[in-house]
Structure 1
Amino acid sequence: MSTSQTAVHRGIVKQVLSGDAVVIRGQPKGGPPPEKTICFSNITAPRMARRPNPAQDNVETKDEPFAWEAREYLRKKLIGKDVAFVIEYTVPGTGREYGCVYLGKDTSGENITEALVSEGLVEVRRGGIRADDPGQQQLIQLEDVAKSAGKGKWNTEEAAKHIRNVKWTVENPRNFVDSHHNKPIDAVIEHVRDGCTVRAFLLPSFDYVTIMLSGIKCPMFKQDDSGKQVPETFTEEAKYFTEVRLLQRDVQIILEGVSNQNLLGTVIHPNGNIAELLLREGFARCVDWSMGVVTQGADKLRAAEKIAKEKKARVWKDYSPSGPTVDIKDKAFTGKVVEVVNGDALVVKTADNKFKKVFLASVRPPRNTTPADSTESSPSKGRGRPLYDVPYMFEAREFLRKKLIGKKVNVQVDYIQPANNNFPEKNCCTVTISGINVGEALVGKGLASVVRYRQEDDQRSEHYDELLAAEARAQKKGVGMHSKKDAPTHKVADVSGDPNKCKQFLPFLQRAGKSEAIVEFVASGSRLRLYLPRETCLMTFLISGIECPRGARPLPGGQMTTSEPYGDEALQFTKEMCLQREVEVRVETMDKGGNFIGWLFVENTNLSVALVEEGLAKVHFTAERSNYFKQLQIAEENARRNKLNLWKDYKEAPETEEVVEDTTERNVSYKSIVVTEVTDDLKFFAQLVDNGPQLEKLMEQLRQDMEANPPLPGAYTPKRNDTCAAKFSQDNEWYRAKIEKVDGSKVTVLYVDYGNREQTTTTCLATLPASFQTLAPQATEYCLACVTLPPDEDFKADGVDAFYDGVANRQLSMNVEYKSGGLEYVSLTYLDSKDDVAQKLISSGFLLAEKRREKRLAKLVSDYMKAQEKAKSSRENMWRYGDFTDDDAKEFGYSR
């Protein structure tokens, strides 16, 4: 041995090799900090287990008792701590250095050798103890005390319990990962191979595992042609970064996946996720192949990488964005979806009435897998229709259409794809509705795939990892495009422009009455292309009863025709109202060109009436023969009066006193009725008293039938306009009802015998036996004649409430005064007092009198006007603040 050295050195403990040896890292001076292995003088620790080494003897050894406890005692006390140490001697030949280590920055701190001896974790080598050295004699005394107390290894009875059963290999990595269910496992990091690969003992099982950090990759050591390990740029720095934070630290590991028998996982230190820290400092990159298994915080990893890119830190020192940047003011917006383009693009109308086409970021719609030179015939002969021919494209479009059309969505622009190969620039976005990522939902249903990118391409969805996870779930479930079953086919008959085919379909469509359809395309305000799901056919449909201007349209030569005045506005109005919505059509006839003609309804709104009401169409003379002529006339009068669009320059003819020759007398024919329901617009439903016994008998028989043959819940499939049996929520009894709207499991019904509406579920509906459909609906809708509600919302509500209180569930006398828009306007009187209901409400200041010119109604109108003057003078209800009709007389139907 060499002579004793008394110089005091300082450093930080990097690693504990055993119970009597540590690695100490010195202070760095421009380069990597120097390291020194120090063995403790005069003691021997129990030897730790050694794994088989094929390069040597390939023999596995076991722990000596308390070897792990001695190592752990030092690890918990020293790792990462400042220490002072004195090298006492160096062994010639091996160069191994022995000395004494003190906790702290000088030798006044705790003597680690003495601490180990006191705990009974090591044995003093008494052969080398000098009698004249009080420090060494102190070790003998401490050991004697530990022996007498039976501490540590001197407790021979407990020795067998302090030998680890180390499992050096994992037989089935996949099952091993699955058995831990993505739950955090306590572990100690034993070795850092590189910045993103570590070896660790899992506790308390002592499984020895190699973990590759999920979702990232650091610069690594590569083998050159001569077999030498050569580090990539920043390899050493990345390894050092991980080493000083994790080596021999208590951590938690989440096992997440397997790659080529290597375990993938996340290592969580008390100060955070090491992968996130590596990314933030520019020591690592995100990798897609393992990002998909990250169970928590994948978005944080991407965000950390983004920070490093912006700072151009280390591996990103030469970074430049792979595409154009998105202007912050255009980064996010909200709007209403007006069109779904195939399975990956939407047209959104923004708050400032602009239309933006956006593509779902990193999502690829279904594609035709049939080779271009394939001899297989397309399901749709003639011109190609990808929507119906490409497998799952129709299902993808329908999924988005049903979820989004007409709904408000939030749009976040992720990246802009530049124009190339004659394709225009694309705004690629994340679209969400009620917090749900539309692209992720589409991919999760197996109706789209996720785009794969080059590693350096950062032009991708900010939720790319969620998309990959959704695709993995879809593949595991085997849904949509990932199903092993044959893809659904759509054999669609296109009868557009084919008079012969149209003639075959016409009788069937005429007999069907209203047919359900989806608007696939809008060519002009009154010309649409429809898909009828039940008949699986495409048709061109022309709107009846109106004359609508046409917008600009392409000609065969590629030129465009000029738009007729307000043609483009009519086109846009119809598109917003109808495009890709479920509608009902009533086909009346067809023209010579193979186009069907009829009426189209969107949620019970007649499109012809709506266009006329907006001044975007005029009533055509052919409408006189229809049931909607009166509605069209009223709509046109309103548009003309308000000078809307086509009527912008309309000038009314000079007013002349019109003498209405009305020699007819007021027809008085009272019927006894019971009012069963009142609506918010002063309309009401009533039953004829004479039909009461018949209705009661029918209801009793219906309930007996339902009780004797209870329907199977959910067996009935509701369809709009069907008549069914419905269980009323208030009394749990069955009634006849008409289905007005179906929205998933929620169904809106009208109880046809009482006039009230209710939203119920499919489980409360049943098929109505034919024997109960012979009696006509007993509740008829009426409206009070010669009166109107006040314009103020509060007064209007008061008027409706007063009317309801006066007539609900009471027997009254009713006389029909006139008809308008298919609705009968009536007067009501009480049976006992013979008082006119409307007159009493007017005189109480709840309703306004409506001045009408029919001579036969003159007496009735006069009585109502007198009642109104009385209410004014008495300041009743709506008149309590004075006469408000002076400035707005025309608005309420008065002329001065």
Structure 2
Amino acid sequence: TELFTVWPPRSSLALICFSLQVLSGCAVIVRGQPRGGPPPERQINLSNVRAGALARRAVQGQPDTKDTPDEPWAFQAREFLRKKVIGKEVCFTVENKTPQGREYGMVYLGKDTSGENIAESLVTEGLATVRREGIRGNNPEQARLCDLEDQAKAAKKGLWSEGGGAHTIRDLKYTIENPRNFVDSLHQKPVNDGSETPEPFSAEAKFFTESRLLQRDVQIILESCPNQVILGTILHPNGNITELLLKEGFARCVDWSMAVYTQGAEKLRAAERSAKERKVRIWKDYVAPTANLDQKDRQFVAKVMQVMNADAIVVKLNSGEHKTIHLSSIRPPRLEGENKDKDKRFRPLYDIPYMFEAREFLRKKLIGKKVNVTVDYIRAATSAMETGGVPAFPERTCATVTIGGINIAEALISKGLATVIRYRQDDDQRSSLYDELLAAEARAIKNGKGLHSKKEVPIHRVADISGETQKAKQFLPFLQRAGRSEAVVEYVFSGSRLKLYMPKETCLITFLLAGIECPRGSRNMPGGMQVAEPYSEEATFFTKELVLQREVEVEVESMDKAGNFIGWLHIEGVNLSVALVENALSKVHFTAERSSYYKTLLSAEETARQRKEKLWANYEEKPKEEVAQLTEEKERVAKYRAVYVTEITDGLHFYAQDVETGTKLESLMESMRGEIAAQPPVEGSFSPRRGDFCIAKFGDGEWYRARIEKVESPAKVHVYYIDYGNREILSSTRLAALPPAFSTRTLPPQATEYAFAFIQVPQDDDARTDAVDSVVRDIQNTQCLLNVEYSGIVCPHVTLQFADSKDDVGLGLVKEGLVMVDVRKEKHLQKMVTLTGICNLCALKCTSLFPSRASDGSQFVLL
């Protein structure tokens, strides 16, 4: 560097360097060896010769300037010199230096002046003329140049050929009318050249490129023409400059063009990854997104347990731990403008276009299968303040998930069931296969798949009848007649309570497992939080692992008062009720006695008892003699109490109040109505929500305590009167908040639901209506005597007597042939089986009422 700055005006000393650029046929730029950075440049003009001037473009913005064409043989002289010296080691001597700093001298190929004299070569080929003015007789070099020029003239070379060299003048165009057509005509694809903003290492990057490409013979691949700018790839015989820049840490990949890079985007990503790993140049402070993770946490194999959304799954690790994994760099389907709606509520997946298809694709592909998980990055948790008030997101583990060599995110995007997230250029938290995702999205857009289709979006009309008693009643006969029906387990509430999607019926139902008594989890009750029973969580996890989001078969037998269906669930030949009992996570319920699975359940329970695990851990088997004695001694307990019947349901259940607490209810109602009269509620001020307790104005104009069961609209609110058992649909203007002094803590709900013991409710609608009408006439709004005989899944089963005559209400229904007798196998209840004459009468009546069932003698018992 010092030699460059102190070079004398004239010297015979030669300096070794590399030629960097050829400006014309008689001017070159040379550069010394780099030491700690790009070396300084130096322009050398050839002494005593002159080559033609190259064409020049008019200066932009200066109308007085115009384009000038090439002089004859000027371009050929420049090309001759370029091919001679570019990238070659040369030495030069400086013979003269003008006051303006311009240097003139001789340039030689090689390390000393014994190499080829470039000026002589130009003159020999007739590509430059010798400056003969002021020829010095003592200058042998100038004299030799004159001799070489005479020889070129004699040989009619170059400038001295016939015709004047007009054919050597290039027809240059500085603009292209249609650059895109120009690129498309060469059948190439788009790529970007990156940012032009000066950044660290920009000078070194320029030197790196110049020293390898400037004025070299290279191959150009035209890739794209975005915004009228022609972009391409430069292929040097020794390599692709794009890949080299990335590998040496001088550049970073540009996402928008990677998907159409013709030389293979994976090569560029690999080159960039190499620079990151070595932390060179622009990556000197680089920290990998997964740098703080151990290898076992970066890559692992896990079993898919649940599909949370179109971009999230729950997997089970080898350790047994469950972990939520989000698919890297994809965005699931969503409604237009959804991300801007800060107050949006949860929407079922059926309401969002293509969300159901995306979820189903993942469910069928992954549930219950092992997948390979490669963690790409950990997305930090966001607070509500950072998201402008939108609910915060917890920390997310984002990964590439593959199964059988298939990238699940890529498959999802290629079907148009998700889109790719676009990142800032400096955001390194993205999928390790991001380019494949972009390419898959481009294919989906081109083929009009899914979200990119111009067709109407698919509509899924799914009826959610969970907790909808009236709708459930309508569906019940169809499901009962269907036998085994196909279903998908959407959610598991507990070991024996699930939400199912019925594809053929296109409905969602709540399903309770029949025949078992499963431990209950913790739940909110009117009196406070109910503590979870032992092994309730284990039962829930067992059911989840076995059936969650799996395709199953169900047999619906009945339904409870809340509109939940009761029956049996099978998965791959396994009865879930039996499986829970067999694994000591549930006990057999007496209601299983009438089912064909009763013996199987008893056998499973006996096996679990013998193992003394979980529910049976403290089980001590009693001697057979003691068991027999207890069985013989156990008798039916008849302990009747006075009740007041307030409501009869369409299913032949009834609600009753205890007469003993009737005065408390009357006192509460009187006080409550007095307070309401003193301070009437503001009409329309109450916002009803499902599950809330309130007061409701009945048809008689009085206020009663109630619970909200459903809100269809402000004009249609379903309420249940907790002290009487009846239900009604009201406008919210007829509802108000329940005063705290009259809450259920002060006095529990007074209406209790019961079912008649020892009878079967007719399945035929007309027959059931006749039975209900008879009961309404006989006992509604009257005082009766009630005795609990045995428990039921929905409510207690009781016998009811008229208060005056002590006649049994259920027996009266049997005598009238309005109902059939329910067969009970408990020995302590067999004393109820008497009065043969009544049974004969029952049989005769039932034969006319139920001819198809009366032919089976097992349907009748003796009373």
Question: TM above 0.5, one fold?
Answer: yes
Deviation at 1:477, TM superposition (A): 4.2
The answer to whether the 8 A contact 1:217-1:284 is kept is: no
Amino acid at match of 1:526: S
Q: Give the corresponding residue for 2:331.
A: 364
Residue 448, structure 1, aligned to residue 418, structure 2: yes
Pairwise mapping of residues 838-857 of structure 1 onto structure 2 (< 5 A)? none
Q: Give the corresponding residue for 2:506.
A: 536
Deviation at 1:362, TM superposition (A): 2.6
The answer to whether the 8 A contact 1:26-1:34 is kept is: yes
> Cα gap change, 1:110/1:371 in structure 2, threshold over 3 Å: closer, same or farther?
closer
SS of equivalent to 2:569? strand
Q: Give the corresponding residue for 1:704.
A: none
Q: Give the corresponding residue for 2:360.
A: 398
- Where structure 1 has 5 or more consecutive residues not aligned to the other structure, the ranges are 184-210, 221-231, 657-896
SS of equivalent to 2:230? strand
Residue 214, structure 1, aligned to residue 192, structure 2: yes
Pairwise mapping of residues 786-805 of structure 1 onto structure 2 (< 5 A)? none
> Cα gap change, 1:561/1:479 in structure 2, threshold over 3 Å: closer, same or farther?
farther
- Aligned match of 2:95 in 88, 91, 113? 88
Deviations 1:536-587 (A, max 9, x none): 211011223x314235243268976444444333322221221112222232
Residue 74, structure 1, aligned to residue 74, structure 2: no
CA distance in 2, matches of 1:372, 1:242: 44
Deviation at 1:523, TM superposition (A): 1.5
Pairwise mapping of residues 428-577 of structure 1 onto structure 2 (< 5 A)? 428-544=398-514, 546-550=515-519, 552-555=521-524, 561-577=530-546
How many residue pairs match? The answer is: 609
Moved more, 391-400 or 58-67: 58-67
Residue 348, structure 1, aligned to residue 312, structure 2: no
CA distance in 2, matches of 1:28, 1:634: 87
Deviation at 1:348, TM superposition (A): 0.5
> Cα gap change, 1:441/1:449 in structure 2, threshold over 3 Å: closer, same or farther?
same
Q: Give the corresponding residue for 1:595.
A: 564
Q: Give the corresponding residue for 2:633.
A: none
Amino acid at match of 2:175: T
Pairwise mapping of residues 278-427 of structure 1 onto structure 2 (< 5 A)? 278-279=245-246, 281-291=248-258, 293-296=260-263, 298=265, 301=268, 325-369=292-336, 385-421=347-383, 422-427=392-397
CA distance in 2, matches of 1:69, 1:410: 61
- Aligned match of 1:9 in 12, 15, 21? 15
CA distance in 2, matches of 1:482, 1:641: 60
SS of equivalent to 2:402? strand
SS of equivalent to 1:24? strand
Deviation at 1:340, TM superposition (A): 0.6
Deviation at 1:101, TM superposition (A): 0.8
Residue 580, structure 1, aligned to residue 549, structure 2: yes
The answer to whether the 8 A contact 1:348-1:357 is kept is: yes
CA distance in 1, matches of 2:491, 2:69: 78
Deviations 1:292-320 (A, max 9, x none): 55455545555655666677765567777
Deviation at 1:17, TM superposition (A): 1.6
Deviation at 1:99, TM superposition (A): 2.4
CA distance in 2, matches of 1:177, 1:251: 18
SS of equivalent to 1:108? coil
Deviation at 1:78, TM superposition (A): 1.4
Deviations 1:409-435 (A, max 9, x none): 111122222233353222122212222
The answer to whether the 8 A contact 1:215-1:290 is kept is: no
SS of equivalent to 1:357? strand
Deviation at 1:356, TM superposition (A): 0.8
Q: Give the corresponding residue for 1:116.
A: 122
Q: Give the corresponding residue for 2:748.
A: none
Deviation at 1:641, TM superposition (A): 5.9
Please tell me the root mean square deviation across aligned C-alpha atoms, in Å. Answer: 4.2
CA distance in 1, matches of 2:459, 2:444: 21
> Cα gap change, 1:492/1:159 in structure 2, threshold over 3 Å: closer, same or farther?
same
> Cα gap change, 1:142/1:542 in structure 2, threshold over 3 Å: closer, same or farther?
same
Deviations 1:72-103 (A, max 9, x none): 3322331122211123345x576543322111
CA distance in 2, matches of 1:335, 1:116: 72
Moved more, 358-367 or 14-23: 358-367
Deviation at 1:473, TM superposition (A): 4.0
Deviations 1:588-607 (A, max 9, x none): 32222211122323234433
CA distance in 2, matches of 1:56, 1:38: 32
Deviations 1:257-279 (A, max 9, x none): 44432234444444544445445
Deviations 1:472-516 (A, max 9, x none): 444444433344444333332111122211111112222333322
Q: Give the corresponding residue for 1:246.
A: 213
Deviations 1:413-464 (A, max 9, x none): 2222223335322212221222222223323333333334444443333333
TM score, norm. by length of structure 2: 0.62
Amino acid at match of 1:76: K
Q: Give the corresponding residue for 1:734.
A: none
> Cα gap change, 1:531/1:215 in structure 2, threshold over 3 Å: closer, same or farther?
farther
CA distance in 1, matches of 2:534, 2:196: 65
The answer to whether the 8 A contact 1:120-1:146 is kept is: yes
SS of equivalent to 2:493? strand
Q: Give the corresponding residue for 2:187.
A: 181
The answer to whether the 8 A contact 1:4-1:89 is kept is: yes
CA distance in 2, matches of 1:587, 1:638: 27
- Where structure 2 has 5 or more consecutive residues not aligned to the other structure, the ranges are 1-7, 384-391, 626-863
CA distance in 2, matches of 1:282, 1:103: 33
Q: Give the corresponding residue for 2:228.
A: 261
TM score, norm. by length of structure 1: 0.60
> Cα gap change, 1:280/1:373 in structure 2, threshold over 3 Å: closer, same or farther?
closer
CA distance in 2, matches of 1:86, 1:557: 102
Pairwise mapping of residues 116-265 of structure 1 onto structure 2 (< 5 A)? 116-124=122-130, 133-139=139-145, 142=148, 164-182=170-188, 214=192, 216-217=194-195, 219-220=197-198, 234-265=201-232
Deviations 1:770-801 (A, max 9, x none): xxxxxxxxxxxxxxxxxxxxxxxxxxxxxxxx
Q: Give the corresponding residue for 1:98.
A: 104
SS of equivalent to 1:115? helix
Deviations 1:810-851 (A, max 9, x none): xxxxxxxxxxxxxxxxxxxxxxxxxxxxxxxxxxxxxxxxxx
